[in-house]
Amino acid sequence: MSHSATGLSALDEIPAILYGTAWKQAATAELVIQALRLGFRGIDTAGQPRHYHEAGVGEAIAACLDAQLTRGQLYVQTKFTPIDGHDPARIPYDPDAAPAQQVSQSFASSLRNLGTHYVDALILHSPLRRTTEQTEVWRAMEAIAGQGAALRIGISNCYQIGVLERLYRQAEIKPSIVQNRFHAETGHDREIRAFCRDHGTIYQSFWTLTANPHLLAHDSVLRLAKKYQRTPAQILFRVLTQEGIVPLTGTRSAIHMREDLAIFEFEPSADERARVTGLFDKEA
């Protein structure tokens, strides 16, 4: 995996920026092919037909793998989505089965969709309401990881620090990823991100641009954009990667894909980064 092409997160061999496939539906395969051919090496999807076309991701991967791009050079992560997150008519598992069976059935469906025998990460799409069910689901994910079918496991949409702390405390295989919406309403996850830093956990951000127009329009970001001849989005993404955060981008634009991949061509100084991180790290 080329360090200069995609960058690497500070904490692990995970690409420092991922291509997100939510809401792409029929355009998924075409867009993922475009992203891979332009240089993305990390793809995020989910076994949730309501918002993702997972088989389209698999189609794109199959179309792009060749002598120059092997499966081992790609980072592919998918998610197990609890029942509440599904369209009742399109659940990739038996909704009446026990939680552990639901995980197993969903994961088998994901492997078929993606055309692979393993994923680089399996993520719990959101915490479950009942602690007993969440424990059973996490144990099932640990079993998949223990078999080598998922190289790491994590959790998404986890905004309560107590939930994350309890999961970490009880887990035999600790969550190595937290993927959350990054926005002001949750204080940009200050506590969650601090926990991740302290425990060697990758924090992935989604909705990073859409939810933060105030950051993109701030003078501190605009001045850096002018200095480095980059877009405000590039400045924010680059600073986040320097802070060990892995942003997702879901752009449909080839121009924006190229810009997203080009963020590793420049490096704001520590003082410049601090002016940007101060916008979302300071107490409200």
**Each residue of 212-270: pLDDT tens digit?**
999 999 999 999 999 999 999 999 999 999 999 999 999 999 999 999 999 999 999 99
Q: What is the DSSP letter of 201?
A: P
Neighbours of 30 (CB within 10 A): 15
Q: Given this model, what pLDDT does residue 134 score?
A: 96
Q: Given this model, what pLDDT does residue 6 score?
A: 46
Query: Mean per-residue pLDDT for 204-213?
Result: 97
With cut-offs at 50, 70 and 90, classify the pLDDT of residue 13: confident
d(CA 136, CA 90): 23
d(CA 14, CA 62): 21
Distance separating the N- and C-terminal Cα atoms of the chain: 39
Give rounded-to-5 percent helix, strand, coil for the chain: 50, 15, 35
Say yes or no to pLDDT of 70 above 60. yes
Q: Given this model, what pLDDT does residue 4 score?
A: 35
Contacts of 238 (CB under 8 A, 6+ apart): 230, 263, 264, 266, 267, 268
Q: Given this model, what pLDDT does residue 78 score?
A: 98
Contacts of 172 (CB under 8 A, 6+ apart): 139, 142
Burial zone of 165 (CB within 10 Å; 0-12 exposed, 13-18 middle, 19+ buried): middle
The full set of domain ranges for the chain reads: 3-212+244-253
CA neighbor of 138 nearest in space, from 99, 192, 177 = 99
With cut-offs at 50, 70 and 90, classify the pLDDT of residue 11: very low
Kindly report, residue by residue over 157-183, the tens digit of the pLDDT. Answer: 999 999 999 999 999 999 999 999 999
Say yes or no to pLDDT of 206 above 80. yes
CATH class of 3-212+244-253: alpha beta
Q: Given this model, what pLDDT does residue 7 score?
A: 56
Say yes or no to pLDDT of 3 above 50. no
Query: Mean per-residue pLDDT for 62-69?
Result: 95
- Which residues on neighbouring strands pair with residue 77, listed in sequence order? 44, 121
CA neighbor of 242 nearest in space, from 214, 282, 279, 270 = 270
Say yes or no to pLDDT of 284 above 70. no
